[in-house]
Amino acid sequence: MGVFGRLHFYFPFTSNEQSENSISSNGLRPNGTSSPYKRHLSLPVQDHMDIFHEILKKKRKEFSPQSVLYIQNLRRIKLITRETPNLQILFDHGYGDIGHWICTYFDGNINHIYDSLNRNSLSAQQEQYLKCLYPFPFKNVFPQVQQQTNQYDCGIYAIAFATTICFNKNPANQIYHIPDMRTHAEQIFLTKTLMEFPSIPKD
């Protein structure tokens, strides 16, 4: 099954079966209506994240996010030079039964970890990945962000955090409109265009 074998339980397009807006693997919502996103749902979750990385790079060409699968083969990681900003989504397969996605942003000096569980820590694999990506001394910080309200939306939040950064905003200063996050992410994948998630600034 591998590290990513059970991600489908909580990735935004195949989770929350009780929601009218959720979509099953056959492209149907629970109420039986068809979805235009079936083609995207046929992909494994890790492929969704790598596709998102490609969409992200069209918006911010200076970023060089690498495959989330490289966490299983660190030798494939291409190092980022010092003082070069970068954005990277990472997976932690050791969190509970289903794992967890986070967004990381390196500003050229400090690595900001945006985690929708606000755990303030990294797994050993994530630390190793980042050390291979940035082979020089750097500091990790863990800003407090809006916390997910269920057990499966970490993928949605990681994408939202990354998108916010690409629009030169700080995810720690945003409150996202939760009912719209899932369908907004679907639109990003469908159009292959990065669009800001519905949100308001914190007071």
42-46, 67-71, 106-110, 167-171: least confidently modelled range = 42-46
Q: Where are the alpha helices (DSSP H) in 60-172?
A: 124-133, 154-166
pLDDT at 116 over 60: yes
pLDDT for 92: 87
- Contact call for residues 67 and 76 (beta carbons, < 8 A): yes
Contact present, 113 and 102 (Cβ < 8 Å): yes
Which one has a higher pLDDT value, 28 or 139?
A: 139
Domain boundaries in the chain? 7-201
Q: What is the predicted pLDDT for the residue at 46?
A: 75
Per-residue pLDDT at 88 exceeds 50: yes
Q: What is the pLDDT of residue 55?
A: 97
Judge contact between 39 and 25, C-beta under 8 A: no
The Cα 190–Cα 27 span in angstroms is 14
Mean pLDDT of the chain: 82
Mean pLDDT of 162-186: 97
86-92 vs 139-141, strand pairing mode: unpaired
pLDDT at 157 over 50: yes
pLDDT band at 103 (very low <50, low <70, confident <90, very high): very high
**Dihedral (CA of 39, 26, 103, 169) sign:** positive
Integer distance in angstroms from the first to the last C-alpha of the chain?
A: 45
Query: Looking up tokens 């039964």, which residue turns up?
Result: 97
CA distance linking residue 16 with residue 52, whole number of Å:
21
Dump pLDDT digits (tens) for 179-201.
Answer: 999 999 999 999 999 999 999 99
What's the CATH code, domain 7-201?
A: 3.40.395
Q: Give the C-alpha distances (Å, rounded to integers) separating 16 from 23, 73, 149, 182.
A: 9, 31, 12, 10
Q: Which amino acid is at 93?
A: H
Evaluate if residue 41 carries a pLDDT over 70. no
pTM: 0.81
DSSP lists the bridge partners of residue 105 as 87, 112
- Give the residue-averaged pLDDT of 107-119: 96
Residues 6+ apart with CB under 8 A from 77: 66, 70, 129, 132, 133
- % of the chain exceeding 70 in pLDDT: 76
How far apart are alpha carbons 5 and 69 in whole angstroms?
A: 12
Spatial distance between the Cα atoms of 28 and 144, rounded to a whole number of angstroms:
36
